[in-house]
């Protein structure tokens, strides 16, 4: 690893004079003690400073490192067309994207699709400190129908038995979870977002087999029928949750399906990226009103949300989650704290990482971002980090003013 970019402190480090938002609420203390890879204490400086290098940071707010629950490290957002197959020569670009993410304060991400398990290689190199980037959870090849959405990644399966064969192939490549395309999508020619790709029975078989391997399932769901099938099957996360049907995009919200999502304690990963600013700028107010009504209804039904961007698809850059969170709040009219939890403590819980990250607490990984300002007052501060630690590695942050 390039030590000019990142390093782990050899001595205990005390960050003090801080305002601390720990992932749930403001902490009474003003100091964070970091030893190696871990946070060892939060509290007052005079109680924690023994044996530490001390860094005084008045006016700075500390928050947990951000989590993007839906990215594609393999995809270059500059490319407007989907790949015909996975070319291993894309790997250097993946390294560059990973570094940009962590320098922006994204310390954990979930990769939900690639074709040649290159993201697993990246995950393992980051874990071994051979590459700089966020902690990664990787799904490998998504399960999809022949010629279905993202079939170019090689996970096509027509029958339930074939779907389980694709699943086992991901397990053999040490996948952290399983991804299934429950509906069609926009990026694949000939695929329709409103159309279901698998019946509920097949999705249930996938969830059951994944569970045997202690793996969760993320389901790509645009169409309302596919959302229903996935929710009934018990997947862990509903990706996109766009409520598409005969009446158009977002126009077929079903309160019974939302109630099932809430009752089954699933999570919605809505992939709200920076490009959703188009709803705020549109001359026609009806699409924004529809989106807001759907999110308000889901929230009122008890549905839980995690932050995600679908980074890698055309125009959606991997390091733009901080800007996307501000858009998330403005589009949905959720509070800054609700949105920030969706990218920290709630996301960690959803991804099974609550005992490792997502909060600032003793014993957890030293994943934190320092901001010149308070993001609960202004989410725009997320785009201007002044300090980043990922797994105890101090990283030179970057500021994206675009």
Q: Is the pLDDT of residue 219 over 70?
A: yes
* Residues found in the chain: 402
pLDDT of 1: 46
Dihedral pair phi/psi, residue 313, rounded to 5°: -70, 160
pLDDT(329) > 80: yes
How confident is residue 72, by pLDDT bands cut at 50, 70 and 90? very high
Contact 219, 182 (CB under 8 A): yes
Rounded Cα–Cα distance for residues 239 and 106 (Å)? 19
Q: What are phi and psi of 35, to 5 degrees?
A: -130, 110
How many whole angstroms from its chain centre is CA 103? 16
Runs of H (alpha helix) within 113-268: 118-127, 160-172, 200-212, 224-233, 255-263
The domains of the chain are located at 6-64+359-395, 66-350
Structure tokens at 239: 């990706």
- Residue 82 has what pLDDT? 83
Do residues 241 and 221 make contact, with C-beta atoms less than 8 angstroms apart?
A: yes
- Residue 31 pLDDT greater than 50, yes or no: yes
In the prediction, which pLDDT does 234 show? Answer: 98
**pLDDT at position 400, please?**
66
- Using the predicted structure, report yes or no on whether residue 102 has a pLDDT greater than 80: yes
Instruction: Kindly state the average pLDDT of the residues 75-87.
Output: 90
Dist. CA 53–CA 98, nearest whole Å = 29
Q: What is the pLDDT of residues 222-274, one digit of tens each?
A: 999 999 999 999 999 999 999 999 999 999 999 999 999 999 999 999 999 99
pLDDT value, residue 81: 87
Q: What is the mean pLDDT of residues 169-189?
A: 96
Residue-averaged pLDDT of the chain = 96
**How far are the Cα atoms of 20, 25, 170, 262, 357 from residue 33, in angstroms, in the given order?**
12, 18, 39, 37, 16
Tell whether the model's pLDDT for residue 139 goes beyond 70.
yes
- Note the pLDDT of residue 6: 64
CA 335/CA 13 separation, integer angstroms: 33
Tens-place pLDDT, residues 285-317: 999 999 999 999 999 999 999 999 999 999 999
Q: What is the mean pLDDT of residues 15-28?
A: 98
Share of residues in the chain with pLDDT > 70 (%): 98
Q: What is the CATH number of domain 6-64+359-395?
A: 2.30.40.10
DSSP labels, 80-109: -S--SS--GGGHHHHHHHHHHHHHTTEEEE
Distance of CA 201 to the CA centre of its chain: 28
Q: Tell the residue number behind the tokens 């993202």, with chain if given.
A: 150
- Which pLDDT score, from 0 to 100, does residue 161 have? 98
Which sign, positive or negative, has the C-alpha torsion 90, 269, 244, 199?
Answer: positive
The pLDDT score that the predictor gives to residue 357 is: 98
pLDDT band at 401 (very low <50, low <70, confident <90, very high): very low
**Which uninterrupted H or E stretch holds 61?**
strand 61-64
Residue 382 clears pLDDT 60, i.e. is over it: yes
Contacts of 21 by beta carbon, 8 Å cutoff, 6+ apart: 27, 61, 62, 63, 340, 360, 374, 375, 376
Tell me the CATH number for domain 66-350: 3.20.20.140
The torsion angle over the Cα atoms of residues 334, 336, 338 and 344, rounded to 10 degrees, is 140
């Amino acid at each position: 690893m390039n030590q000019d970019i990142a390093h782990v402190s050899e001595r205990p480090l005390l960050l003090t004079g801080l305002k601390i938002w720990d992932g749930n609420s403001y902490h009474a203390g003003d100091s964070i003690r970091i030893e190696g890879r871990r946070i060892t204490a939060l509290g007052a400086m005079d109680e924690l400073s023994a044996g530490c290098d001390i860094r005084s940071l008045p006016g700075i707010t500390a928050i947990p490192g951000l989590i993007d629950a839906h990215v594609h490290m393999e995809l270059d957002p500059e490319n407007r067309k989907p790949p015909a197959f996975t070319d291993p020569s894309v790997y250097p670009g993946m390294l560059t994207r990973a570094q940009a993410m962590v320098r922006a304060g994204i310390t954990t991400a979930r990769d939900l699709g690639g074709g040649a398990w290159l993201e697993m290689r990246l995950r393992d190199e980051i874990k071994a400190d051979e590459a700089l980037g966020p902690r990664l959870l990787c799904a490998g090849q998504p399960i999809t129908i022949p010629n279905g959405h993202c079939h170019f990644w090689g996970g096509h399966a027509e029958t339930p038995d074939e779907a389980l064969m694709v699943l086992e192939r991901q397990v053999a490549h040490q996948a952290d979870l399983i991804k299934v395309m429950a509906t069609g999508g926009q990026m694949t020619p000939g695929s329709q977002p409103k159309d279901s790709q698998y019946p509920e029975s097949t999705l249930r078989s996938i969830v059951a087999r994944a569970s045997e391997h202690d793996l969760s399932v993320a389901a790509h769901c645009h169409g309302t029928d596919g959302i229903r099938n996935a929710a009934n099957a018990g997947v862990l996360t509903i990706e996109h949750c766009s409520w598409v049907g005969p009446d158009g995009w977002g126009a077929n919200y079903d309160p019974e399906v939302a109630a099932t999502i809430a009752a089954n304690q699933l999570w919605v990963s809505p992939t709200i990226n920076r490009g959703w600013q188009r709803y705020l700028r549109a001359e026609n107010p009806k699409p924004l009103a529809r989106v807001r009504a759907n999110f308000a209804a889901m929230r009122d039904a008890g549905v839980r949300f995690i932050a995600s961007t679908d980074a890698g698809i055309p125009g959606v850059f991997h390091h733009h989650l901080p800007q996307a969170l501000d858009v998330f709040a403005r589009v949905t009219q959720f509070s800054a704290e609700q949105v920030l939890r969706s990218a920290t403590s709630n996301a960690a819980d959803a991804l099974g990482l609550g005992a490792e990250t997502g909060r600032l607490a003793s014993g957890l990984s030293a994943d934190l971002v320092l901001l010149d300002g308070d993001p609960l007052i202004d989410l725009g501060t997320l785009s201007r980090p002044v300090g980043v630690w990922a797994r105890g590695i101090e990283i030179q942050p970057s500021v994206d003013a675009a």
